[in-house]
C-alpha cells in the first residue's frame, strides 16, 4: 500500500505561516533522506495573503490589510485565515511515477470527493485553477461561479509540499484584498455560504477518508 507509513498531523490552533513553511522545508528534506514518513498536515493560519511564483503586484489590492508572504509555490495571490482548512501534502513522487500532473489531479479530485461528502458539487474549469461551484443563474440571467478550493504546490527533488485550501466558513470579505489566483469576474464561496454547516472536525474526517480513497492507488494519470 502506497500510504502505509503516512503521518497525519492535525493542528487545532492557528499556525504562523513562517513556522509552517519551515516545517515543510525540513520534512521534505527528511522524506528525501528517508528519515521521516510522508506527511499530510491539516491546519489553519491567522489572516494573511501569500504570493506564489506567478503573482502580479497589481493583484494585491490592499497590501496593508494583512501580512503578505512569498510562498515559493506555484500560482498567484491567495488568502489564508480562520475558517479555512489547509492541507499541506508532503509525498514522495518517486513512489508515484514522478508525475506532477497526476499529483495535481489527485489533489483536485480529493477536494471534489470531500465536498461531495457535504452535498456540494465541486467542479474544474478549463483555464482556471482550483475547485469551483456553479451557483446557477442570477437576477440578470448571468451565470455565477464561485471558487471554494485553492491548489498550489511545489516539488523539490520529487517530494511535494504546500497543497490545498478548502473554505469551510472564513470571512469571505477578506478575499477582497487580492485578486484571488489572478482570476477576475468570479466570486469566492464556502461550505457555510452554500448552506452546509459542517464543523472543522467533520471536514477533517472527510478530508482524511477521501485522501486515502484518492491517493491509495497505484496508477498512471498521463491520459487526459
Q: What is the 3-state secondary structure (H, E, C) of the chain?
A: CCCCCCEEEECCCCCCHHHHHHHHHHHHHHHHHCCCCCEEEEECCCCEEEECCCCCHHHECCCCCCCEEECCCCCCEEEECCCEEEEEEECEHHHHCCCHHHHHHHHHHHHHHHHHCCCCCCEEECCEEEEEEEEEECCCCCEEEEEEEEEEEEEECCEEEEEEEEECCCCHHHHHHECHHHCCCCEECCCCCCCCCCCHHHHHHHHHHHHHHHHCCCCCCCCC
Q: Give CA 72 to chain center in angstroms.
A: 15
C-alpha cell at 119: 452535498
* Higher-confidence position of 184 and 21: 21
Domain boundaries, the chain: 7-215
Match 511535494 to its residue by C-alpha cell: 160
CB atoms closer than 10 angstroms to residue 123? 13
What pLDDT is stored for residue 224 in this prediction? 42
CB atoms closer than 10 angstroms to residue 47? 18
What pLDDT is stored for residue 169 in this prediction? 98
Q: What mean pLDDT comes out for the span 161-183?
A: 93
Catalytic residue annotation: 181
CA distance 37 to 29: 11
pLDDT at 13 over 90: yes
CA distance 204 to 87: 10
pLDDT at 138 over 80: no
Distances (CA, A) of 198 to 10, 56, 69, 97: 17, 34, 29, 35
CB atoms closer than 10 angstroms to residue 35? 9
What pLDDT is stored for residue 68 in this prediction? 95
Q: What mean pLDDT comes out for the span 166-178?
A: 96
pLDDT in tens, 54-113: 889 999 999 999 999 998 887 889 999 999 999 999 999 998 889 999 999 999 999 999
Which fold, 7-215? BirA Bifunctional Protein; domain 2 (3.30.930)
pTM beyond cutoff 0.85: yes
pLDDT, mean over the chain: 92
What pLDDT is stored for residue 143 in this prediction? 72
What pLDDT is stored for residue 54 in this prediction? 85
What pLDDT is stored for residue 139 in this prediction? 61
4-8, 16-20, 52-56, 146-150: lowest mean pLDDT where?
52-56
User: CB of 62 within 8 A of CB of 176?
Assistant: yes
Distances (CA, A) of 27 to 9, 23, 92, 188: 12, 6, 11, 32
Amino acid at each position: 500500500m502506497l500510504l502505509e507509513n503516512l503521518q497525519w498531523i492535525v493542528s487545532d490552533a492557528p499556525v504562523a505561516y513562517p513556522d509552517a513553511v519551515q516545517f515543510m522545508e525540513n520534512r521534505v528534506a527528511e522524506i528525501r533522506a528517508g528519515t521521516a514518513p510522508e506527511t499530510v498536515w491539516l491546519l489553519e493560519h491567522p489572516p494573511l495573503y501569500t504570493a506564489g511564483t506567478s503573482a502580479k503586484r497589481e493583484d494585491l489590492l490592499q497590501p496593508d490589510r494583512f501580512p503578505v508572504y512569498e510562498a515559493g509555490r506555484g500560482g498567484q495571490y491567495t488568502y489564508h485565515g480562520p475558517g479555512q482548512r489547509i492541507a499541506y501534502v508532503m509525498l514522495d513522487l518517486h513512489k508515484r511515477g514522478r508525475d506532477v500532473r497526476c499529483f495535481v489531479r489527485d489533489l483536485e479530485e480529493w477536494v471534489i470527493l470531500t465536498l461531495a461528502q457535504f452535498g456540494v458539487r465541486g467542479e474544474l474549469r478549463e483555464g482556471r485553477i482550483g475547485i469551483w461551484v456553479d451557483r446557477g443563474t442570477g437576477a440578470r440571467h448571468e451565470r455565477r461561479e464561485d471558487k471554494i478550493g485553492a491548489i498550489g504546490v511545489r516539488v523539490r527533488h520529487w517530494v511535494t509540499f504546500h497543497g490545498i485550501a478548502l473554505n469551510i466558513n472564513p470571512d469571505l470579505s477578506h478575499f477582497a484584498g487580492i485578486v484571488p489566483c489572478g482570476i477576475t469576474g468570479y466570486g469566492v464561496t464556502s461550505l457555510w455560504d452554500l448552506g452546509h454547516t459542517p464543523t472543522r472536525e467533520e471536514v477533517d474526517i472527510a478530508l482524511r477518508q477521501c485522501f486515502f480513497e484518492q491517493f491509495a492507488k497505484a496508477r498512471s494519470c498521463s491520459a487526459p
